[in-house]
Structure 1
Amino acid sequence: MSQQHPDQPARPDPHPDDRPDGQLREQADELTYRSHYQDRVLDLTPVARPHASGLFRRVIAQGGYETRTTLSNGEQLLVSIILPLMVLIALSVTDFIVAEGATVSPVNLATPGVLALAVLSSGLTGQGIATGFDRRYGVLRYLSTTPLGPTGLLLGKAVAVVLVLIVQLMVLGLAALFLEWRPVAVGVLYAGIFIVLGAVTFTALGLLIAGTVRPEATLAITNLLWVILGAAGGVVFAVPENLFGELLQFLPSAALGEGLRSATVRGQFDLLSFVILVVWAAIFTGCTVRWFKWR
Protein backbone atom coordinates (compact mmCIF):
# COMPACT_ATOMS: atom_id res chain seq x y z
CA MET A 1 0.00 0.00 0.00
CA SER A 2 1.40 3.40 -1.01
CA GLN A 3 1.97 5.97 1.71
CA GLN A 4 1.37 9.68 1.37
CA HIS A 5 4.50 11.85 1.02
CA PRO A 6 5.06 14.15 4.02
CA ASP A 7 5.13 17.28 1.82
CA GLN A 8 1.96 16.35 -0.09
CA PRO A 9 -1.20 18.14 1.18
CA ALA A 10 -3.71 15.96 2.92
CA ARG A 11 -6.75 14.87 0.94
CA PRO A 12 -10.04 16.38 2.02
CA ASP A 13 -12.42 14.05 3.76
CA PRO A 14 -15.28 12.93 1.56
CA HIS A 15 -18.79 14.27 2.22
CA PRO A 16 -20.50 12.27 4.95
CA ASP A 17 -23.30 11.29 2.56
CA ASP A 18 -20.69 9.89 0.17
CA ARG A 19 -19.42 7.44 2.77
CA PRO A 20 -20.93 3.99 2.99
CA ASP A 21 -22.21 4.62 6.51
CA GLY A 22 -23.78 7.91 5.35
CA GLN A 23 -25.65 6.12 2.58
CA LEU A 24 -26.94 3.58 5.05
CA ARG A 25 -28.20 6.31 7.35
CA GLU A 26 -29.92 8.09 4.43
CA GLN A 27 -31.67 4.90 3.34
CA ALA A 28 -32.74 4.18 6.91
CA ASP A 29 -34.18 7.68 7.29
CA GLU A 30 -36.08 7.33 4.02
CA LEU A 31 -37.58 4.02 5.09
CA THR A 32 -38.60 5.53 8.41
CA TYR A 33 -40.23 8.52 6.66
CA ARG A 34 -42.14 6.30 4.28
CA SER A 35 -43.37 4.03 7.04
CA HIS A 36 -44.75 6.98 9.02
CA TYR A 37 -45.87 9.48 6.36
CA GLN A 38 -46.48 7.59 3.13
CA ASP A 39 -50.25 7.70 3.57
CA ARG A 40 -50.16 11.46 4.17
CA VAL A 41 -48.26 12.46 1.05
CA LEU A 42 -50.33 14.52 -1.44
CA ASP A 43 -49.97 13.09 -4.92
CA LEU A 44 -49.72 16.00 -7.36
CA THR A 45 -48.86 13.89 -10.38
CA PRO A 46 -51.08 15.02 -13.30
CA VAL A 47 -53.43 12.33 -14.51
CA ALA A 48 -54.13 12.16 -18.22
CA ARG A 49 -57.77 12.31 -19.24
CA PRO A 50 -58.29 9.67 -21.88
CA HIS A 51 -61.69 11.01 -22.87
CA ALA A 52 -60.99 14.76 -22.82
CA SER A 53 -63.56 16.82 -24.69
CA GLY A 54 -62.55 18.06 -28.08
CA LEU A 55 -63.19 21.51 -29.47
CA PHE A 56 -66.54 20.46 -30.89
CA ARG A 57 -67.89 19.27 -27.55
CA ARG A 58 -66.60 22.35 -25.76
CA VAL A 59 -68.21 24.64 -28.34
CA ILE A 60 -71.55 22.83 -28.06
CA ALA A 61 -71.39 23.00 -24.26
CA GLN A 62 -70.63 26.73 -24.34
CA GLY A 63 -73.38 27.35 -26.89
CA GLY A 64 -75.88 25.44 -24.78
CA TYR A 65 -74.91 27.39 -21.67
CA GLU A 66 -75.32 30.75 -23.42
CA THR A 67 -78.64 29.64 -24.90
CA ARG A 68 -80.01 28.69 -21.48
CA THR A 69 -78.73 31.97 -20.06
CA THR A 70 -80.43 33.98 -22.80
CA LEU A 71 -83.77 32.18 -22.58
CA SER A 72 -83.80 32.41 -18.78
CA ASN A 73 -83.21 36.17 -18.84
CA GLY A 74 -86.50 38.02 -18.68
CA GLU A 75 -85.36 41.04 -20.68
CA GLN A 76 -83.85 38.93 -23.45
CA LEU A 77 -86.93 36.72 -23.56
CA LEU A 78 -89.07 39.84 -23.90
CA VAL A 79 -87.06 41.20 -26.83
CA SER A 80 -86.47 37.85 -28.51
CA ILE A 81 -89.92 36.25 -28.41
CA ILE A 82 -92.63 38.18 -26.60
CA LEU A 83 -92.35 41.53 -28.42
CA PRO A 84 -92.03 39.98 -31.92
CA LEU A 85 -95.02 37.77 -31.11
CA MET A 86 -97.05 40.80 -30.04
CA VAL A 87 -96.10 42.63 -33.24
CA LEU A 88 -97.12 39.60 -35.31
CA ILE A 89 -100.53 39.33 -33.67
CA ALA A 90 -101.19 43.07 -33.82
CA LEU A 91 -100.35 43.38 -37.52
CA SER A 92 -102.16 40.17 -38.46
CA VAL A 93 -105.54 40.97 -36.90
CA THR A 94 -105.63 44.62 -38.01
CA ASP A 95 -105.42 46.49 -41.30
CA PHE A 96 -102.51 48.64 -40.15
CA ILE A 97 -100.14 47.05 -42.63
CA VAL A 98 -101.14 47.70 -46.22
CA ALA A 99 -101.47 44.62 -48.40
CA GLU A 100 -99.83 44.55 -51.82
CA GLY A 101 -102.95 43.18 -53.42
CA ALA A 102 -106.32 41.73 -52.71
CA THR A 103 -104.91 38.20 -52.50
CA VAL A 104 -102.22 39.04 -49.92
CA SER A 105 -103.42 38.93 -46.33
CA PRO A 106 -101.94 41.07 -43.55
CA VAL A 107 -100.43 38.03 -41.83
CA ASN A 108 -98.57 37.07 -45.01
CA LEU A 109 -97.01 40.53 -45.10
CA ALA A 110 -96.37 40.79 -41.38
CA THR A 111 -94.71 37.41 -40.81
CA PRO A 112 -91.52 37.92 -42.86
CA GLY A 113 -90.94 41.28 -41.20
CA VAL A 114 -91.43 39.76 -37.75
CA LEU A 115 -88.98 36.96 -38.59
CA ALA A 116 -86.45 39.60 -39.60
CA LEU A 117 -87.10 41.36 -36.30
CA ALA A 118 -86.36 38.09 -34.50
CA VAL A 119 -83.01 37.86 -36.27
CA LEU A 120 -82.12 41.32 -34.99
CA SER A 121 -83.16 40.28 -31.49
CA SER A 122 -80.98 37.18 -31.29
CA GLY A 123 -77.94 38.55 -33.11
CA LEU A 124 -77.79 42.28 -32.37
CA THR A 125 -79.36 42.78 -28.95
CA GLY A 126 -78.96 39.29 -27.48
CA GLN A 127 -75.30 38.67 -28.21
CA GLY A 128 -74.37 42.34 -28.09
CA ILE A 129 -75.62 42.90 -24.55
CA ALA A 130 -74.41 39.53 -23.21
CA THR A 131 -70.94 39.94 -24.70
CA GLY A 132 -70.66 43.52 -23.49
CA PHE A 133 -71.22 42.60 -19.85
CA ASP A 134 -69.09 39.46 -20.13
CA ARG A 135 -66.29 41.69 -21.36
CA ARG A 136 -66.77 44.12 -18.48
CA TYR A 137 -66.52 41.45 -15.77
CA GLY A 138 -63.54 39.71 -17.37
CA VAL A 139 -65.44 36.61 -18.46
CA LEU A 140 -64.22 36.90 -22.04
CA ARG A 141 -60.59 37.18 -21.00
CA TYR A 142 -60.94 34.26 -18.59
CA LEU A 143 -62.67 31.94 -21.08
CA SER A 144 -60.18 32.81 -23.81
CA THR A 145 -57.39 31.34 -21.64
CA THR A 146 -59.23 28.05 -21.02
CA PRO A 147 -59.14 25.05 -23.38
CA LEU A 148 -62.17 26.62 -25.08
CA GLY A 149 -59.95 29.42 -26.42
CA PRO A 150 -60.99 32.58 -28.29
CA THR A 151 -62.06 30.64 -31.39
CA GLY A 152 -64.16 28.22 -29.39
CA LEU A 153 -65.74 31.07 -27.46
CA LEU A 154 -66.84 32.85 -30.64
CA LEU A 155 -68.08 29.59 -32.14
CA GLY A 156 -70.04 28.95 -28.95
CA LYS A 157 -71.72 32.33 -29.31
CA ALA A 158 -72.59 31.48 -32.91
CA VAL A 159 -74.14 28.21 -31.74
CA ALA A 160 -76.15 30.12 -29.13
CA VAL A 161 -77.48 32.50 -31.79
CA VAL A 162 -78.55 29.56 -33.95
CA LEU A 163 -80.27 27.75 -31.08
CA VAL A 164 -82.10 30.87 -29.89
CA LEU A 165 -83.10 31.61 -33.46
CA ILE A 166 -84.51 28.10 -33.87
CA VAL A 167 -86.67 28.61 -30.78
CA GLN A 168 -87.83 31.98 -32.11
CA LEU A 169 -88.70 30.59 -35.54
CA MET A 170 -90.62 27.70 -34.02
CA VAL A 171 -92.71 29.94 -31.75
CA LEU A 172 -93.31 32.69 -34.31
CA GLY A 173 -93.79 30.26 -37.19
CA LEU A 174 -96.39 28.21 -35.34
CA ALA A 175 -98.19 31.36 -34.26
CA ALA A 176 -98.20 32.65 -37.84
CA LEU A 177 -99.51 29.34 -39.18
CA PHE A 178 -102.27 29.48 -36.57
CA LEU A 179 -103.11 32.96 -37.90
CA GLU A 180 -103.31 31.43 -41.42
CA TRP A 181 -99.90 32.40 -42.73
CA ARG A 182 -99.41 30.70 -46.08
CA PRO A 183 -95.91 31.29 -47.52
CA VAL A 184 -94.92 30.32 -51.04
CA ALA A 185 -93.37 26.86 -50.82
CA VAL A 186 -90.18 27.59 -52.74
CA GLY A 187 -89.80 30.84 -50.85
CA VAL A 188 -89.24 29.01 -47.57
CA LEU A 189 -85.84 27.83 -48.83
CA TYR A 190 -84.93 31.34 -49.96
CA ALA A 191 -86.06 32.70 -46.60
CA GLY A 192 -83.75 30.27 -44.81
CA ILE A 193 -80.78 31.63 -46.75
CA PHE A 194 -81.63 35.21 -45.80
CA ILE A 195 -82.20 34.28 -42.15
CA VAL A 196 -78.77 32.64 -41.88
CA LEU A 197 -77.05 35.53 -43.65
CA GLY A 198 -78.92 38.07 -41.55
CA ALA A 199 -77.92 36.26 -38.36
CA VAL A 200 -74.26 36.43 -39.39
CA THR A 201 -74.55 40.11 -40.26
CA PHE A 202 -76.25 41.31 -37.09
CA THR A 203 -74.29 39.03 -34.77
CA ALA A 204 -71.11 40.55 -36.17
CA LEU A 205 -72.57 44.02 -35.61
CA GLY A 206 -73.54 43.14 -32.03
CA LEU A 207 -70.05 41.82 -31.28
CA LEU A 208 -68.50 44.91 -32.86
CA ILE A 209 -70.50 47.21 -30.59
CA ALA A 210 -69.90 45.04 -27.51
CA GLY A 211 -66.17 44.86 -28.14
CA THR A 212 -65.53 48.57 -28.63
CA VAL A 213 -67.74 50.52 -26.18
CA ARG A 214 -68.74 50.26 -22.53
CA PRO A 215 -71.49 47.75 -21.65
CA GLU A 216 -73.91 50.52 -20.63
CA ALA A 217 -73.45 52.09 -24.05
CA THR A 218 -73.84 48.68 -25.69
CA LEU A 219 -77.14 48.19 -23.89
CA ALA A 220 -78.43 51.57 -25.06
CA ILE A 221 -77.12 51.36 -28.64
CA THR A 222 -78.35 47.84 -29.39
CA ASN A 223 -81.82 48.45 -27.97
CA LEU A 224 -82.09 51.77 -29.81
CA LEU A 225 -81.01 50.17 -33.08
CA TRP A 226 -83.51 47.37 -32.57
CA VAL A 227 -86.37 49.85 -32.21
CA ILE A 228 -85.30 52.21 -35.02
CA LEU A 229 -84.40 49.54 -37.56
CA GLY A 230 -87.45 47.48 -36.68
CA ALA A 231 -89.88 50.38 -37.08
CA ALA A 232 -88.27 52.51 -39.79
CA GLY A 233 -85.38 50.47 -41.17
CA GLY A 234 -87.31 48.31 -43.60
CA VAL A 235 -87.66 45.33 -41.24
CA VAL A 236 -91.33 45.14 -40.27
CA PHE A 237 -92.62 47.51 -42.94
CA ALA A 238 -91.55 47.64 -46.57
CA VAL A 239 -89.41 50.59 -47.63
CA PRO A 240 -91.40 53.45 -49.20
CA GLU A 241 -91.31 53.89 -52.95
CA ASN A 242 -89.53 57.25 -53.01
CA LEU A 243 -86.01 58.64 -52.87
CA PHE A 244 -85.77 57.94 -49.16
CA GLY A 245 -86.78 54.34 -49.77
CA GLU A 246 -84.17 54.00 -52.52
CA LEU A 247 -81.49 54.96 -50.01
CA LEU A 248 -83.03 52.94 -47.20
CA GLN A 249 -82.87 49.68 -49.13
CA PHE A 250 -79.08 49.65 -48.80
CA LEU A 251 -79.29 49.22 -45.03
CA PRO A 252 -78.72 45.64 -43.82
CA SER A 253 -82.05 45.71 -41.99
CA ALA A 254 -83.96 46.70 -45.12
CA ALA A 255 -82.10 44.11 -47.19
CA LEU A 256 -83.08 41.40 -44.71
CA GLY A 257 -86.72 42.48 -44.55
CA GLU A 258 -87.11 42.86 -48.32
CA GLY A 259 -85.36 39.56 -48.94
CA LEU A 260 -87.75 37.70 -46.64
CA ARG A 261 -90.81 39.43 -48.09
CA SER A 262 -89.74 38.63 -51.64
CA ALA A 263 -89.16 35.02 -50.67
CA THR A 264 -92.31 34.23 -48.69
CA VAL A 265 -94.82 36.53 -50.42
CA ARG A 266 -93.72 36.36 -54.06
CA GLY A 267 -91.55 33.25 -54.07
CA GLN A 268 -88.60 35.19 -55.54
CA PHE A 269 -84.95 35.38 -54.58
CA ASP A 270 -84.01 39.05 -54.15
CA LEU A 271 -80.47 39.11 -55.51
CA LEU A 272 -79.86 42.78 -54.70
CA SER A 273 -80.81 42.30 -51.04
CA PHE A 274 -78.61 39.21 -50.89
CA VAL A 275 -75.58 41.11 -52.21
CA ILE A 276 -76.22 44.00 -49.81
CA LEU A 277 -76.34 41.62 -46.85
CA VAL A 278 -73.15 39.85 -47.95
CA VAL A 279 -71.31 43.18 -48.17
CA TRP A 280 -72.52 44.31 -44.74
CA ALA A 281 -71.65 40.93 -43.22
CA ALA A 282 -68.11 41.20 -44.58
CA ILE A 283 -67.76 44.78 -43.31
CA PHE A 284 -69.03 44.04 -39.80
CA THR A 285 -66.98 40.85 -39.51
CA GLY A 286 -63.80 42.57 -40.66
CA CYS A 287 -64.32 45.47 -38.27
CA THR A 288 -65.00 43.07 -35.40
CA VAL A 289 -61.80 41.13 -36.06
CA ARG A 290 -59.85 44.39 -36.29
CA TRP A 291 -61.20 46.36 -33.32
CA PHE A 292 -62.77 43.88 -30.90
CA LYS A 293 -61.19 44.17 -27.44
CA TRP A 294 -61.31 41.27 -25.02
CA ARG A 295 -61.15 43.58 -22.00
Structure 2
Amino acid sequence: MSLDLSPRPGSAPRSAMLRAQTVMELRLQCRNGEQVLLTMVIPLVLLILGAKANQVVDLGPGRTIDIITPGILALAVLSTSFTSLAIATGFERRYGIIKRLGASPLPRWGLLFGKVGAVVIVEAVQLSVLSGVGLLLGWEPHGGLTAFGQVLLLVVLGTAAFGALGLLIAGTLRAEATLAVANLVYVLLLVGGGLLVPLSRYPEAARHVLELLPSGALGQGLRDTFAGDGPTAFTTVVLLLWTVCASLLVSRTFKWE
Protein backbone atom coordinates (compact mmCIF):
# COMPACT_ATOMS: atom_id res chain seq x y z
CA MET A 1 0.00 0.00 0.00
CA SER A 2 1.54 3.31 -1.06
CA LEU A 3 0.94 6.64 0.60
CA ASP A 4 0.26 9.78 -1.39
CA LEU A 5 3.02 12.13 -0.25
CA SER A 6 2.67 14.64 -3.05
CA PRO A 7 2.57 18.28 -1.88
CA ARG A 8 -0.77 20.05 -1.74
CA PRO A 9 -0.07 23.76 -1.95
CA GLY A 10 -2.73 26.13 -0.74
CA SER A 11 -4.00 27.80 2.39
CA ALA A 12 -5.72 26.02 5.24
CA PRO A 13 -9.52 26.14 5.49
CA ARG A 14 -10.75 29.47 6.76
CA SER A 15 -12.33 27.87 9.82
CA ALA A 16 -8.93 26.45 10.82
CA MET A 17 -7.23 29.80 10.24
CA LEU A 18 -9.81 31.60 12.36
CA ARG A 19 -9.45 29.11 15.20
CA ALA A 20 -5.66 29.39 15.09
CA GLN A 21 -5.79 33.19 15.06
CA THR A 22 -8.22 33.27 17.99
CA VAL A 23 -6.03 30.91 20.03
CA MET A 24 -2.94 32.99 19.27
CA GLU A 25 -4.66 36.22 20.28
CA LEU A 26 -5.83 34.57 23.50
CA ARG A 27 -2.32 33.35 24.34
CA LEU A 28 -0.87 36.79 23.72
CA GLN A 29 -3.39 38.35 26.08
CA CYS A 30 -2.72 35.82 28.82
CA ARG A 31 1.06 36.27 28.55
CA ASN A 32 0.85 40.05 29.01
CA GLY A 33 1.02 40.89 32.70
CA GLU A 34 -0.37 44.40 32.22
CA GLN A 35 -3.43 43.08 30.44
CA VAL A 36 -4.06 40.44 33.11
CA LEU A 37 -3.83 43.22 35.70
CA LEU A 38 -6.36 45.34 33.81
CA THR A 39 -8.77 42.57 32.95
CA MET A 40 -8.90 40.57 36.16
CA VAL A 41 -6.88 41.84 39.11
CA ILE A 42 -8.09 45.45 39.27
CA PRO A 43 -11.83 44.63 38.89
CA LEU A 44 -11.52 41.81 41.43
CA VAL A 45 -9.78 44.01 44.00
CA LEU A 46 -12.32 46.80 43.49
CA LEU A 47 -15.17 44.32 43.91
CA ILE A 48 -13.79 42.99 47.19
CA LEU A 49 -13.12 46.47 48.53
CA GLY A 50 -16.45 47.71 47.20
CA ALA A 51 -18.35 46.18 50.11
CA LYS A 52 -17.32 49.24 52.15
CA ALA A 53 -17.60 51.77 49.33
CA ASN A 54 -20.54 53.58 50.92
CA GLN A 55 -18.21 54.71 53.67
CA VAL A 56 -16.16 56.63 51.10
CA VAL A 57 -18.59 57.45 48.29
CA ASP A 58 -22.34 57.96 48.57
CA LEU A 59 -23.80 55.28 46.29
CA GLY A 60 -27.38 56.07 47.21
CA PRO A 61 -30.07 53.84 48.70
CA GLY A 62 -29.76 50.07 48.52
CA ARG A 63 -27.20 47.45 49.44
CA THR A 64 -23.67 48.44 48.47
CA ILE A 65 -22.78 45.06 46.97
CA ASP A 66 -25.88 45.17 44.74
CA ILE A 67 -24.84 48.58 43.44
CA ILE A 68 -21.13 47.97 42.99
CA THR A 69 -21.18 44.53 41.37
CA PRO A 70 -22.91 45.51 38.09
CA GLY A 71 -20.49 48.43 37.81
CA ILE A 72 -17.52 46.08 38.23
CA LEU A 73 -18.90 43.87 35.47
CA ALA A 74 -19.15 46.93 33.21
CA LEU A 75 -15.57 47.86 34.14
CA ALA A 76 -14.42 44.37 33.14
CA VAL A 77 -15.99 44.84 29.70
CA LEU A 78 -14.23 48.20 29.34
CA SER A 79 -10.83 46.86 30.39
CA THR A 80 -10.88 43.94 27.96
CA SER A 81 -12.70 45.24 24.89
CA PHE A 82 -11.23 48.75 24.95
CA THR A 83 -8.00 49.22 26.90
CA SER A 84 -6.35 45.85 26.36
CA LEU A 85 -7.47 45.58 22.73
CA ALA A 86 -6.30 49.11 21.87
CA ILE A 87 -2.85 48.70 23.46
CA ALA A 88 -2.20 45.28 21.96
CA THR A 89 -3.33 46.33 18.48
CA GLY A 90 -1.34 49.58 18.62
CA PHE A 91 1.94 47.80 19.33
CA GLU A 92 1.19 45.12 16.76
CA ARG A 93 0.91 47.89 14.18
CA ARG A 94 4.20 49.38 15.36
CA TYR A 95 6.12 46.13 15.02
CA GLY A 96 4.58 45.32 11.64
CA ILE A 97 2.70 42.25 12.83
CA ILE A 98 -0.65 43.39 11.47
CA LYS A 99 0.92 44.34 8.14
CA ARG A 100 2.40 40.85 7.75
CA LEU A 101 -0.82 39.15 8.78
CA GLY A 102 -2.68 41.34 6.30
CA ALA A 103 -0.53 39.89 3.52
CA SER A 104 -1.09 36.29 4.64
CA PRO A 105 -3.88 33.96 3.43
CA LEU A 106 -5.79 34.98 6.55
CA PRO A 107 -8.46 37.49 5.44
CA ARG A 108 -8.22 40.88 7.06
CA TRP A 109 -11.65 40.39 8.55
CA GLY A 110 -10.28 37.12 9.94
CA LEU A 111 -7.69 39.04 11.94
CA LEU A 112 -10.43 41.15 13.50
CA PHE A 113 -12.52 38.02 14.05
CA GLY A 114 -9.62 36.45 15.95
CA LYS A 115 -9.26 39.50 18.17
CA VAL A 116 -12.99 39.61 18.83
CA GLY A 117 -13.03 35.89 19.60
CA ALA A 118 -10.23 36.28 22.14
CA VAL A 119 -12.00 39.25 23.75
CA VAL A 120 -15.24 37.28 24.06
CA ILE A 121 -13.48 34.32 25.70
CA VAL A 122 -11.65 36.54 28.18
CA GLU A 123 -14.84 38.41 29.03
CA ALA A 124 -16.71 35.16 29.60
CA VAL A 125 -14.08 34.12 32.15
CA GLN A 126 -13.99 37.59 33.71
CA LEU A 127 -17.73 37.91 34.15
CA SER A 128 -18.07 34.37 35.48
CA VAL A 129 -15.35 34.86 38.11
CA LEU A 130 -16.51 38.33 39.14
CA SER A 131 -20.15 37.24 39.33
CA GLY A 132 -19.17 34.25 41.46
CA VAL A 133 -17.17 36.43 43.85
CA GLY A 134 -20.03 38.93 43.99
CA LEU A 135 -22.48 36.17 44.94
CA LEU A 136 -20.11 34.99 47.67
CA LEU A 137 -20.01 38.55 49.01
CA GLY A 138 -23.81 38.66 49.20
CA TRP A 139 -24.83 40.05 45.84
CA GLU A 140 -28.49 39.31 45.03
CA PRO A 141 -29.32 39.89 41.35
CA HIS A 142 -32.97 39.97 40.31
CA GLY A 143 -34.84 39.35 37.09
CA GLY A 144 -34.14 35.65 36.43
CA LEU A 145 -33.73 34.41 32.86
CA THR A 146 -35.17 37.61 31.41
CA ALA A 147 -32.45 39.62 33.11
CA PHE A 148 -29.80 37.18 31.85
CA GLY A 149 -30.88 37.79 28.25
CA GLN A 150 -30.92 41.55 28.79
CA VAL A 151 -27.46 41.45 30.38
CA LEU A 152 -26.16 39.43 27.44
CA LEU A 153 -27.50 42.05 25.02
CA LEU A 154 -25.90 44.90 27.00
CA VAL A 155 -22.56 43.11 27.23
CA VAL A 156 -22.56 42.42 23.48
CA LEU A 157 -23.38 46.05 22.66
CA GLY A 158 -20.89 47.35 25.21
CA THR A 159 -18.16 45.07 23.88
CA ALA A 160 -18.88 46.15 20.32
CA ALA A 161 -18.90 49.84 21.22
CA PHE A 162 -15.72 49.77 23.32
CA GLY A 163 -14.00 47.39 20.91
CA ALA A 164 -14.67 49.68 17.94
CA LEU A 165 -13.39 52.67 19.92
CA GLY A 166 -10.28 50.73 20.89
CA LEU A 167 -9.55 49.82 17.28
CA LEU A 168 -10.24 53.41 16.23
CA ILE A 169 -7.51 54.67 18.57
CA ALA A 170 -5.07 51.86 17.79
CA GLY A 171 -5.57 52.20 14.04
CA THR A 172 -4.91 55.93 13.86
CA LEU A 173 -2.41 56.83 16.62
CA ARG A 174 1.16 55.73 17.21
CA ALA A 175 1.69 52.92 19.72
CA GLU A 176 2.99 55.20 22.49
CA ALA A 177 0.07 57.59 22.02
CA THR A 178 -2.37 54.67 22.00
CA LEU A 179 -0.91 53.39 25.28
CA ALA A 180 -1.26 56.82 26.90
CA VAL A 181 -4.75 57.55 25.58
CA ALA A 182 -6.13 54.08 26.36
CA ASN A 183 -4.86 54.15 29.95
CA LEU A 184 -6.01 57.74 30.47
CA VAL A 185 -9.51 56.97 29.21
CA TYR A 186 -9.62 53.87 31.42
CA VAL A 187 -8.73 55.86 34.54
CA LEU A 188 -11.12 58.71 33.73
CA LEU A 189 -14.05 56.37 33.10
CA LEU A 190 -13.19 54.32 36.19
CA VAL A 191 -13.22 57.39 38.41
CA GLY A 192 -16.05 59.40 36.88
CA GLY A 193 -17.54 57.60 33.91
CA GLY A 194 -20.71 56.33 35.53
CA LEU A 195 -19.40 52.78 35.83
CA LEU A 196 -19.18 52.26 39.59
CA VAL A 197 -21.32 55.13 40.89
CA PRO A 198 -25.00 55.31 39.81
CA LEU A 199 -25.80 58.18 37.50
CA SER A 200 -28.35 59.46 40.00
CA ARG A 201 -25.51 60.41 42.38
CA TYR A 202 -23.95 62.83 39.89
CA PRO A 203 -24.95 66.49 39.48
CA GLU A 204 -27.68 66.95 36.88
CA ALA A 205 -25.40 68.52 34.25
CA ALA A 206 -22.83 65.75 34.59
CA ARG A 207 -25.53 63.07 34.55
CA HIS A 208 -26.87 64.27 31.19
CA VAL A 209 -23.37 63.95 29.72
CA LEU A 210 -22.53 60.59 31.28
CA GLU A 211 -25.74 58.92 30.15
CA LEU A 212 -24.64 59.64 26.57
CA LEU A 213 -21.29 57.86 27.06
CA PRO A 214 -20.97 54.09 26.53
CA SER A 215 -19.56 53.73 30.05
CA GLY A 216 -22.52 55.44 31.68
CA ALA A 217 -25.03 53.62 29.49
CA LEU A 218 -23.49 50.19 30.17
CA GLY A 219 -22.99 50.73 33.89
CA GLN A 220 -26.49 52.08 34.49
CA GLY A 221 -28.04 49.52 32.16
CA LEU A 222 -26.51 46.63 34.09
CA ARG A 223 -27.56 48.14 37.43
CA ASP A 224 -31.14 48.57 36.25
CA THR A 225 -31.23 45.06 34.82
CA PHE A 226 -29.89 43.33 37.92
CA ALA A 227 -32.32 45.36 40.02
CA GLY A 228 -35.12 43.71 38.06
CA ASP A 229 -36.18 46.78 36.08
CA GLY A 230 -34.42 45.98 32.82
CA PRO A 231 -32.43 48.41 30.66
CA THR A 232 -34.18 51.42 29.20
CA ALA A 233 -34.56 51.84 25.45
CA PHE A 234 -32.41 54.98 25.72
CA THR A 235 -29.49 52.97 27.17
CA THR A 236 -29.69 50.40 24.40
CA VAL A 237 -29.86 53.06 21.68
CA VAL A 238 -26.84 54.91 23.09
CA LEU A 239 -24.70 51.76 22.99
CA LEU A 240 -25.95 50.89 19.52
CA LEU A 241 -25.17 54.35 18.16
CA TRP A 242 -21.65 54.28 19.60
CA THR A 243 -21.12 50.87 18.01
CA VAL A 244 -22.31 51.93 14.57
CA CYS A 245 -20.52 55.29 14.48
CA ALA A 246 -17.21 53.97 15.83
CA SER A 247 -17.31 50.97 13.48
CA LEU A 248 -17.84 53.23 10.47
CA LEU A 249 -14.90 55.38 11.53
CA VAL A 250 -12.70 52.32 11.98
CA SER A 251 -13.55 51.07 8.50
CA ARG A 252 -12.48 54.42 7.04
CA THR A 253 -9.43 55.29 9.15
CA PHE A 254 -7.78 52.06 10.35
CA LYS A 255 -4.20 51.82 9.05
CA TRP A 256 -2.58 48.40 8.82
CA GLU A 257 0.95 49.79 9.14
1: CA distance between counterparts of 2:23 and 2:65?
Answer: 32
Deviating more after overlay: 73-82 vs 246-255: 246-255
Greater RCO (CA < 8 Å, at least 6 residues apart): 2
Q: Is the 8 A contact 1:136 1:215 kept in 2?
A: yes
User: 227, 230, 244: which one pairs with 1:282?
Assistant: 244
8 A Cα contact 2:59 2:197, kept in partner: no
Match of 2:102 in 1: 144
1:61 and 2:20 equivalent? yes
Aligned to 1:208: 168
- Partners of 2:203 and 2:95 lie apart in 1 by 46
Q: How do 1:8-47 residues align onto structure 2 when only pairs under 5 Å count?
A: 47=7
- What code does the residue aligned with 2:246 have? F
Checking the alignment, whether the CA contact within 8 Å between 2:59 and 2:198 is kept in structure 1 is: no
Equivalent residue number for residue 198 of structure 1: 158
Counterpart of 2:227 in 1: which secondary structure? Answer: helix
Whether the 8 Å CA contact 1:98–1:106 is kept in 2: the answer is no
Q: 1:99–1:105: 8 Å Cα contact kept in structure 2?
A: no
CA distance in 2, matches of 1:53, 1:108: 48
Q: Is the aligned partner of 1:71 residue 2:33?
A: no
1:146-165 → structure 2 map (5 Å cutoff): 146-165=104-123
From 90, 113, 130, the equivalent of 1:172 is: 130
1:115 to 2:73 alignment: yes
Q: What is residue 194 of structure 2 aligned with on the other side? A: 234
Counterpart position of 2:256: 294
1:121 deviation in Å? Answer: 0.6
SS of 1:180's partner is coil
2-structure distance, mates of 1:125, 1:115 = 15
CA contact (8 A) 1:234 1:258 kept: yes
- Say whether residues 1:219 and 2:183 are aligned partners: no
Separation in 2 of the partners of 1:200 and 1:46? Answer: 45
Larger Rg: 1
Change (3 A) 1:198 1:47: same
1:106 to 58, 64, 69: 64
Give every structure 1 segment of 4 or more consecutive aligned residues whose post-TM-superposition deviation is greater than 6 Å: none
Displacement of 1:90 after TM fit? 1.1
Distance 2:9 2:65 in 1: 55
Correspondence for 2:45 among 76, 82, 86? 86
Amino acid at match of 1:163: I
Deviates more, 1:138-147 or 1:183-192: 183-192
Cα distance in structure 1, aligned partners of 2:95 and 2:113: 20
Matching residue within 109, 114, 124 for 2:82: 124
Residue in structure 2 matched with residue 40 of structure 1 by the alignment? none
| 2:106 aligned partner, one-letter code | L
Give the residue type in structure 2 aligned to 1:250: L
CA RMSD in angstroms comes to 1.8
Change (3 A) 1:46 1:225: farther
CA distance in 2, matches of 1:224, 1:46: 55
Cα distance in 2 for partners of 1:83, 1:214 equals 26
Residue identity over aligned pairs, in percent, reads 39
* Unaligned segments of structure 1, at least 5 residues: 1-44
- Unpaired segments of 5 or more residues in structure 2? none
- Structure 2: distance between partners of 1:98 and 1:109: 11
